[in-house]
Amino acid sequence: MLAGITGHGQTSQKEGVHTVVIDAGHGGKDPGNLGTRRYKTTEKDIALIVALKLGGYIEENFEDVKVIYTRSTDVLVDLQERAQIANRAEADLFISIHCDAFTKSSVSGATTLVMGQNHDDDNLRVAMRENSVIYLEENYEEKYEGFDPNDPSSYQAYTLYQSNFMNQSVSFAIKVQDQFRTRVNRKDRGVKQQPLMVTKMAVMPSVLIELGFLTNPAEEDFLNSDKGQSYMASAIYRAFKEYKEEREQFHLNLTPVNQSTSTKPTPNSAQPTVGKENTSLEKTPASKPDSKQVDTKDVYYCVQLATSGIKKELVSQNFNGVEGVRFYEDGGLYKYIVGQTTDLKTAEALKMKMKDAGFKDAFVVALANGNRISISEASKLLE
């Protein structure tokens, strides 16, 4: 069991998504769930096919991404080893692929799960089923320190090792579910938290995807078809593409721009423009801008990191390694911000990244001519 979060992901300073580990659930003597038994294939087979298709799409379209499989054939890999494969590779994302099952054949839909301590009945049901594979491993009692997948009390001791990566895991999970719902017309069972052993031990953003219920005849037919497998793999790929682009749109270690004549920001710039000397925004307090007098090129969103009555030196050491920080003055206080965009969605993405960097209270603000305005006002002006 891991003693705590260690490795490259701890400080969230590693930029980009360049290594992804794809985990096909079950395998070998562990077939996973058997579905309706109308097919010879079981969960392990479908998970492997979709995993290989997903990896193929990523390799084909991203030369800068290394794809690693926990298994590429029909073999059983220990849960602990699956996570360690990702940890040793210092992966940027861990994707585990499975299929769901239930006692009622009418139950259907796709779910994406992140590590958590939600112990409601449905989440615990899935956790017990997915974690029970450890019974097939040698010395599992010693290896997992007495953890019993079928004992609800065992889950009470779970520590949320994944807390450093929760924002990123949830961000990717939401994208996966959006793709399933909008592009593949799958029933969306949402993003859920549950205590899963395989994601618990992975020290990077991690999700476990349940493609659908093999105990539902219609979903079983879909997931056993080449079309269905390709659609589900491509949906996860599109979520990966969006996630990768979002993560790489901003950089924690921004290079300050030497701008001798002006410090006025340029709209839509992902990297804030900062001068060496004058790094504040419009320092002269002004009355609230009249929307009729505001030039929309001076209206933008950014992310506020902190507020202080003391003027801090704008060096990365004072801001958890984040460079390109600047400030504006409001009510006698210094308010430190980063980023600049006219797209609210982009600003929200930067906010999540700043939370990853340690600014847990980071939030999006809107500025017009160097003065803060409401988000709704900014939206109207930018329309």
Sketch out the chain's domains with CATH numbers. 19-249 (3.40.630.40), 255-383 (3.30.70.1070)
Per DSSP, what are the bridge partners of residue 112? Answer: 191, 209
CB 192 within 8 A of CB 118: yes
SS3 sequence, 83-112?
HHHHHHCCCCEEEEEEEECCCCCCCCCEEE
Q: Which residue has the tokens 């958590």?
A: 116
pLDDT tier at 9, thresholds 50, 70, 90: very low
* Integer Cα distance of 61 and 57 in angstroms: 6
CB 291 within 8 A of CB 381: yes
pLDDT in tens, 320-370: 888 889 988 887 788 899 888 888 888 888 888 888 888 888 899 999 888
3-state secondary structure of 303: strand
* Integer Cα distance of 24 and 205 in angstroms: 17
DSSP 214: T
* Integer Cα distance of 206 and 186 in angstroms: 22
Predicted confidence (pLDDT) at residue 261 exceeds the cutoff of 60: no
Q: Where are the alpha helices (DSSP H) in the chain?
A: 43-61, 79-88, 121-131, 140-143, 166-183, 197-200, 217-224, 226-249, 344-356, 375-382
* Integer Cα distance of 311 and 325 in angstroms: 13
Q: Which of 192, 196, 209, 202 is nearest to 158 (CA)?
A: 196
Neighbour-count burial for 16-51, b at 16+ CB within 10 Å, e otherwise: ebbbbbbbbbbbeebebbebeeeeebbbbbbbbbbb
Q: Which residues contact 106 (CB under 8 A, 6 or more apart)?
A: 216
CB 154 within 8 A of CB 140: no
- Mode of pairing for the β-strands spanning 326-330 and 333-341: antiparallel
pLDDT tier at 148, thresholds 50, 70, 90: low
Range from 121-125, 279-283, 315-319 that averages highest in pLDDT:
315-319
- What pLDDT was estimated at residue 308? 82
CB 91 within 8 A of CB 14: no
Report residue 210 as tokens.
């349940």
3-state secondary structure of 57: helix
pLDDT in tens, 103-132: 999 999 999 988 765 544 454 455 455 555
Predicted confidence (pLDDT) at residue 240 exceeds the cutoff of 70: yes
CB 352 within 8 A of CB 321: no
Sheet holding 333-341, edge to edge: 326-330, 333-341, 299-308, 363-368, 371-373
- What pLDDT was estimated at residue 185? 96
Give the Å distances, CA to CA, from 156 to 153, 166, 201, 203, 345.
5, 19, 16, 21, 37
Per DSSP, what are the bridge partners of residue 327? Answer: 280, 336
pLDDT in tens, 171-224: 899 999 999 999 999 999 998 876 665 556 677 898 999 999 999 999 999 999
Q: Cα 271 vs. chain centroid, distance in angstroms? A: 22
Predicted confidence (pLDDT) at residue 294 exceeds the cutoff of 80: no
